[in-house]
Amino acid sequence: MRFLLTLLLTVACMARPQDIAPRDFLNESKVRQEQRMKWWTEARFGMFIHWGLYSIPAGEWKGSTDHAEWIRTTARIPLQEYDKFVDQFNPVKFNAAEIVRMAKSGGMKYIVITSKHHDGFCLFDSKNTDFDVMSTPFKRDIMKELADACHKEGLKICWYHSIMDWHHPDYLPRREWETGRPTTGADFDRYIEHMKSQLKELLSNYGEIGVLWFDGEWESTWNTKYGTDLYNYVRSLQPNIIINNRVGAGRSGMEGFTKSGEFAGDFGTPEQEIPATGLPGVSWETCMTMNDHWGFNKHDQNWKSTEDLIRKLADIASKGGNFLLNIGPTAEGLFPQQAIERLGQMGAWMAVNGESIYDTKASPFKSLDWGRCTQKPIEGGFRLYLHVFDWPKNGKLIVPGILNEPKRAYLLADKEQLHLLVRRQEDALVIDLPSEPQDPINSVVVVDIRGNVDVTSPPEITAGAGIFIDALDVLVKTDREKVDLKYTLDGSSPTTGSSVVTGPIKITTTTTITARCYRNGKAVSGPVSAKFTKVAPIPGRSLSAPLPGVRFSYYEGDWDALPDFTKLKPVKEGTLSAFDLSPRNVPEYFGIEYHGFIKVPQDGVYGFFTDSDDGSRLFVGDKMVVDNDGRHGTREVKGIIPLAAGFHPLRVQYFQKGGNRDLKVLIQQPDDQKKPVPESMLFFQR
């Protein structure tokens, strides 16, 4: 009976929370936004905490041991059975001051904790539901204690809050397996008012909140209109708060960035991955687990090493991002010992080297063979922090492509700041280092530089693909001014006498192009090479009496990756005019294999793409061209293949487990833009 009160309380709160007409905060000036986000961009390192009722089963249910915070869905636990965890939640060893102390001593500047995860259980005292911590034997407002401890120690307290809610009677859609929870009478807009009422509590009763970190936005009921309204509502309550891009509905998979043209919040949220390159002008934060789960799983012992975590922190900072490192407390309220050990070791490194992380900017170098670089301005110039992962055996650290002159260099860990010898070698600075690193994981070398940043990276060598059939135009370009681009076609490094790039370089045989930047007859960048290979196209076929469209085979099942469809019996089979999901009988837990032929009009190198949620693959003949497999949000993956004119066998596989359903199959023909595969190119035979 306890949880029947939820619906009654929701109905009582149907009036718009606080009757506030939110301002439009979307047109904020760039200067104002930078001021609002200043503390966050300076912090660089924060703690993520996933904690709730799911810590009680600790990842295990009926013999299966790979669950965590999603256990109610992944183990398909009925609501009335999951609710029993409320009477068991009693984390008597929880100590807010100790958690904040560990975060602070670990070098972290803010804490983001799950005020409510997808299961709907609240770790705070909510007057809008009794599905909260005050209904447990613990009966203490965990958010209040953590907020007070953070405010006392100078850390920012931040809330994670799920838009999705598997418990609330008005949240839609239901899980497909919840046959005992009808949607009759459910009202999603009423759920949104309930969510806003809880957000008002979280933003009114706990002092200043640094970030509202939304999640669970990918289901079809949420959209950009809801997202922009929620963003404005939250900022009307705390105008200086920072809000992630998951408040909107345009996130593109686990890489965490919002699709172009969609509402993007204040920062992107790559999940369990680090962007390959820096993203100037874009704020972002990588969230990552220490092992394989967000919530506590007692069986998960796959812990990342301290070395890996410290180097990931440096890598992220070198690309201009923040690192939000997750810990899942136990049901008792304790951090796992492995997490405590890694926090202590990271904190020891940060105590010496934190200056190279906090308030730094992205590296001016596109890549460094031996490690990473962060930087910050100083009077009369700038300071480079060289994060050396691979200590040079000959004691010579080469910093390529920097044209400024150095003032001094020293080891950050050296309290006496004894000068290291620095000399110039063409475009590079060479720093003499001690024979052994002071820290085998990441020793930081500081170099103070005169003037404004003047770094020249090697040129970029690009073409439509790395393979070609007859001939290929290759572009060599740089973003630097007043430089000559010189190149060779035999793999040797360009010299002052090498050919100068004046336009596209046309090649007709397999060729390695090497290019380098020169200024006033001197090399001002290192060389870069790219190989382009001439190939023969895969012969096309002739078909007798082809019919338009593709065949499909439809399957149902619960998979985390594409199954071997040849070992499964299809639920049904048929034909379609194109790749769509209309054959499905259920909203989740199904797979489709499409098979037929694609007719290409000319010889050339073709690009194929699948953009899917969840996994997909594309085969031409026996060759897998696109591998987009696995559970993930909407993500696009590309592959290329050389094809001769004619018909080619084509097979596309797709499965869907949870969240959104999405599949797009696209093609990029020679000298054309990518677009959905036209129906006019698809055929099958009886």
Share of the chain above pLDDT 70, in %: 96
pLDDT in tens, 603-625: 999 999 999 989 999 999 999 99
* Inside any domain, residue 623: yes
Q: What whole-number distance in Å separates Cα of residue 252 and Cα of residue 273? A: 13
Q: Distance between CA atoms of 152 and 177, rounded to whole angstroms? A: 46
pLDDT at 288: 97
Same domain, 308 and 386: no
Q: Which whole number is the average pLDDT over 279-285?
A: 88
Q: Residue 486 is part of which domain span?
A: 460-534
Total number of residues shown for the chain: 686
Residues 438, 468 within the same domain: no
Q: Is residue 375 part of a domain?
A: yes
179 to 7, 271, 557, 655: CA distances (angstroms): 19, 32, 17, 22
Q: How far apart are CA 617 and CA 593, in angstroms?
A: 10
**For the segment 525-540, what is each residue's pLDDT rounded down to a tens digit?**
989 999 999 999 999 9
Are 287 and 200 in a shared domain? yes
Q: In the predicted model, is pLDDT for residue 449 greater than 80? A: yes
What are the beta bridge partners of residue 284?
A: 268
Q: Which of 450, 483, 502 is the last residue of a domain?
A: 450
pLDDT for the residue numbered 309: 98
Cα–Cα distance for residue pair 231/248, rounded to 1 Å: 8
Cα–Cα distance for residue pair 180/446, rounded to 1 Å:
63
Which has more confidence, 338 or 254? 338
DSSP code at position 271: B
Question: Is 100 inside any structural domain?
Answer: yes
DSSP letter (8 states) at residue 353:
H
Alpha carbon distance 487, 525 (integer Å)? 13
Residue 33 belongs to a domain: no
Same domain, 555 and 493: no
- Compute the Cα dihedral for 426, 427, 431, 437 and give only its sign: negative
Alpha helices in 58-116 (DSSP H): 71-74, 79-82, 96-105
Kindly tell me if the per-residue pLDDT of 291 is higher than 80: yes
250 has a pLDDT exceeding 90: no
Determine, yes or no, domain membership for 35.
no
Report the CATH number at residue 494: 2.60.40
Lowest mean pLDDT among 387-396, 594-603, 654-663: 654-663
Given a contact cutoff of 8 angstroms between Cβ atoms, the answer to whether 412 and 352 are in contact is yes
Q: pLDDT value at position 429?
A: 96
User: Into how many domains does the chain fold?
Assistant: 4
Please state whether the peptide bond connecting residue 614 to the residue before it is cis, i.e. omega within 30 degrees of 0: yes
More confident residue, 624 or 524: 624
Stated as kind and residue range, the H or E segment containing 339 is helix 337-353
Q: Both 214 and 316 in a single domain? A: yes
Q: Please check whether residue 332 is in contact with residue 92, taking contact to mean a CB–CB distance below 8 angstroms.
A: yes
Strand ranges, E, within 257-299: 285-289
Rounded-to-integer distance, Cα 51 and Cα 506, Å: 58
Flag whether 25 is in a domain: no
Q: How far apart are CA 126 and CA 205, in angstroms?
A: 10
Q: What is the DSSP string of 212-251?
A: EEEE---STT--HHHHHHHHHHHHHHSTT-EEBGGGSS-B
pLDDT score of 21: 54
Q: CA–CA separation, 21 vs 17, rounded Å?
A: 10
Of 174, 82, 162, 167, whose CA–CA distance to 129 is shortest? Answer: 167
* Residue 662, pLDDT above cutoff 70: yes
pLDDT over 50 (residue 274) = yes
Does 199 lie in the same domain as 85? Answer: yes
pLDDT, tens only, 389-422: 999 999 999 999 998 999 999 999 999 999 999 9
Place of tokens 């994981």: 441
Give one DSSP letter per residue of 542-591, joined into a string: --SS-EESEEEEEEE---SS---GGGS--SEEEEESSS-STT-SSSSSEE
Q: Is the pLDDT of residue 266 over 80?
A: yes
Please tell me whether residues 382 and 440 are part of one structural domain: yes
Distances in whole angstroms, Cα of residue 236 to Cα of each of 49, 233, 568, 642: 26, 5, 54, 55
Please give the backbone phi and psi of residue 399, each rounded to the nearest 5 degrees, phi first: -110, 105
Q: Cβ(403)–Cβ(427) under 8 Å?
A: yes
| In contact, 149 and 97? CB cutoff 8 Å | yes
Q: Is residue 110 located within the same domain as residue 209?
A: yes
Of 311, 330, 349, the position where a domain reaches its end is 330
Tell whether 186 and 80 lie within a shared domain: yes
Tokens of 4: 């029947």
What's the farthest any 2 CA atoms get from each other in the chain?
86
Cβ atoms of 536 and 440 closer than 8 Å: no
User: pLDDT of 169-180, one tens digit each?
Assistant: 999 999 888 988
Nearest in space to 241 (alpha carbons), one of 276, 214, 280 = 214
CATH number at residue 411: 2.60.40.1180
Residues 634-648: what's their mean pLDDT?
95
Does 77 share its domain with 126? yes
Q: pLDDT, tens digit, for every residue of 95-152?
A: 999 999 999 999 999 999 999 999 999 999 999 999 999 999 999 999 999 999 999 9
| Mean pLDDT, residues 416-443 | 95
pLDDT in tens, 530-575: 999 999 999 999 999 999 999 999 999 989 899 999 999 999 999 9
pLDDT above 90 covers what percent of the chain?
85
CA dihedral 596, 601, 606, 611 (to 10 degrees): -50
The tokens describing 585, both together, are 């009988």
Helix, strand, coil proportions of the chain in percent (round to 5)? 20, 30, 50
3-state secondary structure of 73: helix
pTM of the model: 0.87
Average pLDDT for residues 29-51, to the nearest whole number? 97
Question: Residue 198: helix, strand or coil by DSSP?
Answer: helix
pLDDT tens digits for 335-385? 999 999 999 999 999 999 999 999 999 999 988 999 999 999 999 999 999
| pLDDT tens digit sequence for 63-88 | 999 999 999 999 999 999 999 999 99
Contact criterion met (CB below 8 Å) for 362 and 124 = no
The DSSP bridge pattern shows strands 45-49 and 110-116 to be parallel
Token pair 């460094």 is found at 368
Q: For residue 567, what are the contacts with CB-CB under 8 A and spacing of at least 6?
A: none
Highest mean pLDDT among 205-209, 399-403, 481-485, 490-494 belongs to: 205-209
Q: Residue 2 above 80 pLDDT?
A: no
The answer to whether the CB of 525 falls within 8 A of the CB of 401 is: yes
Domain membership of residue 37 (yes or no) is no
CATH number at residue 128: 3.20.20.80
In CATH, what number is assigned to the domain containing residue 579?
2.60.120.1560
Together in a domain, 187 and 254: yes
E-assigned strands of 321-413?
322-327, 371-378, 381-388, 396-399, 406-411
Q: Kindly report the average pLDDT of the chain as a whole number.
A: 93
Give yes or no: residues 176 and 309 share one domain.
yes
Q: Does residue 658 have a pLDDT over 90? A: no
Secondary element (H or E) of residue 656: strand 646-656
> Is 32 a domain residue?
no
Angular region, 186: left φ>0, alpha ψ -120 to 50, beta rest: beta
Structure tokens at 680: 């006019």
Q: Which residues pair with 664 in a beta bridge?
A: 611
- Residue 253 confidence (pLDDT) above 80: no
Taking the C-alpha atoms of residue 563 and residue 297, their distance in angstroms, rounded to an integer, is: 26
Residue 497, classified by CB atoms within 10 Å of its CB into exposed (0-12), middle (13-18) or buried (19+), is exposed
Burial profile 596-633: b = 16 or more Cβ within 10 angstroms, e = fewer: bbbbbeebbbbbbbbbbbbbbbbbbeeeebbebbebbb
